[in-house]
Amino acid sequence: MDPRATEEPPYQPTVIDNAIYRDGERADNPGSLADAFERLKDMPGSMAWIGLYRPKEWELTKLGEEFKLHELALEDAIVGSQRPKADRYGDTLFVVLRAARYLDEAEEVAFGELHVFVGPDFVITVRHAEAPDLQGVRKRMESDPELLRQGPQAVLYAIVDAVVDGYAPVVAGLQKDIEEIEVQVFSGDPSVSRRVYELSGEVIEFQRATAPLVGMIHGFIAGAPKYGLNDELQSYLRDVADHAITVSERVSSFRQMLQNILIVNSTLVTQAQNAEMARMTEASIQQGEEVKKISAWAAILFAPTLVGTIYGMNFDFMPETHWVLGYPFAILLMAAVCLVLYMVFKRRDWL
C-alpha cells in the first residue's frame, strides 16, 4: 500500500479573507490561520476576523484546534443543515444564520447557511452559500473604525444586519409571486395549484429561517452588560430586531395568504366542476327528452306497420282478407291504435 495515501493533506483552507484588526484598523494579513492565532498572542488588544467559504471537514477540525473551538459547535458546522440558533460554549458564541436570496429567473428562493464563531478576540465565519456578501460587510466595518473598534460583538451585529437586510428582496419577490398566483387563480389556470404548493414550501422554509432571529437578537441585547456591548451597539441591535420582526410578520402573512388562496382556488375549482356537472346533467336531460319523443313516435308509427304487416302476409285462410269491410276495418284499427298511443304518450309528457 502506498504510505502516502494515509498522509494528511496540507492545511490550505478556503480562506476568503484573514486579517488582524487593532483599534478599528487592519493591522496585519496573516498568511495562514496558524499565523493569525500567533499574531493574536503577539498583539494584545487585537482581533482576528477570518472568513471561510465551504471549507472541508479536516479544515474545520484544524481551525478548532487552533482557536480552541468546542467540539459540539464544530460538529454542527461540519454537518450543516442547522436551524438558526445561538449557543455559547465558555467564552465562545456559536451562531447559525440562514441567509436567503431571491432568484428572479427561476422565481424561487435560495437558502444558505452561515456559521459564526465569536470569541473574545476573534470572529470566524463559515459560509456555505453565496449569500450573504460578507466581503461587503467587511468593507462596511473597515470604513467605520469607531464601530469596528468595539470588537467581535460589533462584527457579529454587522453580519446579522446583513443577513436581515438580505431578506428584503426575498420578501418583495414572494409578494410579487403571490400577486401573480392570485391572477392565475381567478383566470382559471389549472397549473396554479402546483405553484401554490411549491411557493408554500418556500414560505415555510423562509419562516423557519426568520422566526428564531427575533429571540436570538433580543438575547444578544439581554447579555449586553455581561459581554460589554455599549449603548450604541445595543441601539443598532434593536434596530435589526425591528427589521427582523417586520420580516417575520410579513412571512407569516404570506403563509396565511397562500392558505386563503388555496381555499379560494379549491372553491373555484369546485364551482367549475359543479357548473360542468350541471351543464352535463342539463344536456343529459335534454337528450332524454329527445329520446322519449323519438321513442314515442317510433311506437306510434310501429302500430300501423304491425297491422299492415299481418294483413300483408297473403295466407289463403285469413277470413278478414275476403271480408267486404276488411280494408276499412284495418285502416280504422291502425288509426285507433295510433290515437290511443298518442294520447297515452301525451299524458305522460313524452310528446
pLDDT tens-digit map of 87-137: 999 889 999 999 999 988 888 899 989 999 999 889 999 988 777 778 899
Q: What are the residue ranges spanned by the domains of the chain?
A: 7-165, 286-347
Calculate ∠ Cα 118-120-125, nearest 5°: 25
Is the model's pLDDT at 156 over the cut of 90?
yes
Q: Which of 306, 293, 298, 305 is nearest to 346 (CA)?
A: 293
Q: For residue 321, what pLDDT is reported?
A: 67
Number of H helices, E strands in the chain: 11, 7
Please state whether the peptide bond connecting residue 132 to the residue before it is cis, i.e. omega within 30 degrees of 0: yes
- CB atoms under 10 Å from CB of 307, counted, come to 17
- Report helix, strand or coil for 91: coil
Thinking of the domain 286-347, which architecture would CATH place it in?
Answer: Up-down Bundle (1.20)
Rounded to a whole number of angstroms, the distance between the first and last alpha carbons of the chain is 100
CATH topology of domain 7-165: Beta Polymerase; domain 2 (3.30.460)
Provide the b/e sequence for 96-133 (b: ≥16 CB within 10 Å): bbbbbbbeeeebebebbbbbbbbbebbbbbbbbbebbe
pLDDT tens-digit map of 294-323? 888 888 888 788 777 777 776 666 776 667
Is 265:193 a contact under the CB 8 Å cutoff?
Answer: yes
List, in sequence order, every residue forming a beta bridge with 113; answer none if it has no partner: 98
**β-pair partners for 117:** 94, 124
Q: What is the pLDDT of residues 146-155, one digit of tens each?
A: 999 999 999 9
Strands 15-22, 92-103: pairing kind: unpaired
CA atoms of 293 and 189, how far apart (whole Å)? 41
- The pTM for the full model equals 0.74
**Tens of pLDDT along 180-233?**
888 888 887 777 888 888 898 899 999 999 989 999 999 888 887 777 778 888
Answer for the pair 223, 268: CB distance below 8 angstroms, yes or no: no
Say what the pLDDT of residue 55 is: 85
Distance CA 266, CA 274 (A): 12
Give the burial class of 292: count Cβ atoms within 10 A of its Cβ; 0-12 exposed, 13-18 middle, 19 or more buried: middle
Model confidence at 173, in pLDDT bands (50, 70, 90)? Answer: very high
In Å, what is the CA distance from 289 to each residue of 280, 282, 347? 14, 11, 14
Strand-by-strand arrangement of the 122-127 sheet: 25-28, 15-22, 47-53, 122-127, 108-118, 92-103, 85-89
Task: Specify burial of residue 203 (Cβ count, 10 A radius: 0-12, 13-18, 19+).
Answer: buried
